[in-house]
Structure 1
Amino acid sequence: MPDYFAQRLNMVESQVRTNDVTDTRIQDAMKVVPRERFVPSGKRALAYADAAVEVTPGRFLLDPRTLSKLAQVAQIKPSDRILDVGCATGYSTAVLARLAGEVIGLEEDHALVEIARATLGETQGNVQVVQGSLTEGWQANAPYDVIFLNGSIEFVPVSLRSQLGEDGRLVAVVRKGPQGRACRFLRERGRMGQWISFDSTLPFLHGFREPRRFVF
């Protein structure tokens, strides 16, 4: 039987801590949350690899390095309410829930919602998984202190911007070409500022690409 506990510790030491993730709360959360439970049984050998893991066609768990660095960029406080957009099977939701007061996992795929609810029910109590459009967000629990996007995006929808509270942070990998950049957007006095943090290339999150224009 694989020693998943040892694999988790190795993941944190080799993929998280060595990539300038100095927030020990993030390190501790990723040492505890059983990533293998959120991966399809046939892919559990890949659970702790330094790569995104596809859980259904076109849907992924973020690689540990990017997830941890985005969480650090978000500057999460214990009292924060987080909207976790594109939570898939719920791994990111479980990690974020150990850093914040409340996490709403948003997923549009019904099968993934059911998997996330079942798995998170075994690991964390301050979470809720809801089904809805990723680009529309989840107005019912707004405003949010943090909005966390699980994938690359080309734009931030107005609906998500409007659901950030004052001093709220939205973190995502913004990608207009082959290479993306992790960014933090900060809502302050009704305006949105943007800061670039680190380079990253993730699969695109469904619905977050600009419409393609065809020239005849």
Structure 2
Amino acid sequence: MTEQNFESMREAMVSNQLRTNAVNDVRVVDAMRAVPRETFVPASRAEVAYVDTLVPLGGGRSLNTPMATGRLLTESAPRAEDRVLLVGAATGYTAALLSRLVAHVVALDDNAALLATARGGKVPANVEFVEGPLAAGWAQGAPYDLILVDGAIESLPQALVDQLADGGRIAVAIIEGGISRLSIGRKVGDAFGVVAFADAESTPLPGFAKPEAFTF
């Protein structure tokens, strides 16, 4: 595959997967058109980097679909001055996208091998990769204007909500009845609410199992 091939595939992704699925924020589209997604997957899977499906990265993890990531970014409306926590950084693709959209990105993952790959690439100056449990967030950098969970989880932990600034947003896919629902949460004062806006395939993230109900 040549660079020209990948550029054509990137344009096809924008035309066929993003614009047709309400990814209509010009800044988001421009970022996804510019960042070479194929460099964030194993070389053996580079040819499928732009297919509308999950791309395995190893260790049971996958790169999220372009549409899911694009919708989360669009609905979260990232601003140039935002401080962002990215939960599920994996190999760094979404961190690279966010680096073009916001002031600073803390990119968290619990998989040392994936983080090593992310750090081994060309890391933007405004991205900080950190290692730790995903569900715990990264309190050292809080509060955040935006928390983007780049994957599907069963339960949204209070720890992440607590790390939001007043007026902050959380973009996340929440699994309900086996269906992954892209959702936006907003914090105003002590109040926090989540609204789903689309159903879409999204890569599951570890460590977010819903607590089992107590039974006698």
Match of 2:136, SS state, is coil
Does residue 1:11 correspond to 2:13, yes or no? yes
Paired amino acid for 1:181: R
Match of 1:76, SS state, is coil
- Any unmatched runs of 5+ in structure 1? none
Q: What do residues 37-91 of structure 1 show as CA deviations (whole Å, max 9, x unaligned)? A: 1000111111010111110132111100110001011111111111110110010
Paired amino acid for 2:15: E
Instruction: Specify whether residues 9 and 157 from structure 1 end up closer, same or farther in structure 2 by C-alpha distance, changes over 3 A only.
Output: same
How do 1:1-216 and structure 2 match up within 5 A?
1-2=1-2, 3-121=5-123, 124-212=124-212
Query: Does the 8 Å CA contact 2:65/2:201 hold for their aligned counterparts?
Result: no
Query: Does the 8 Å CA contact 1:90/1:120 hold for their aligned counterparts?
Result: no
Name the CA distance, whole Å, in 1 between partners of 2:134 and 2:179. Answer: 23
Match of 2:32, SS state, is helix
Paired amino acid for 1:166: D
Paired amino acid for 1:170: I
Name the CA distance, whole Å, in 1 between partners of 2:50 and 2:168. Answer: 31
Name the CA distance, whole Å, in 2 between partners of 1:163 and 1:215. Answer: 31
Paired amino acid for 1:42: S
Paired amino acid for 2:126: N
TM-score norm. by structure 2 comes to 0.94
Name the CA distance, whole Å, in 1 between partners of 2:68 and 2:18. Answer: 9
Query: Does the 8 Å CA contact 1:53/1:61 hold for their aligned counterparts?
Result: yes
Higher alpha-carbon deviation: 62-71 or 205-214? 205-214
Paired amino acid for 2:196: I
Higher alpha-carbon deviation: 83-92 or 48-57? 48-57
- Any unmatched runs of 5+ in structure 2? none
RMSD: 1.6
1:150 shift after superposition: 1.6
Paired amino acid for 2:137: G
Higher alpha-carbon deviation: 195-204 or 43-52? 195-204
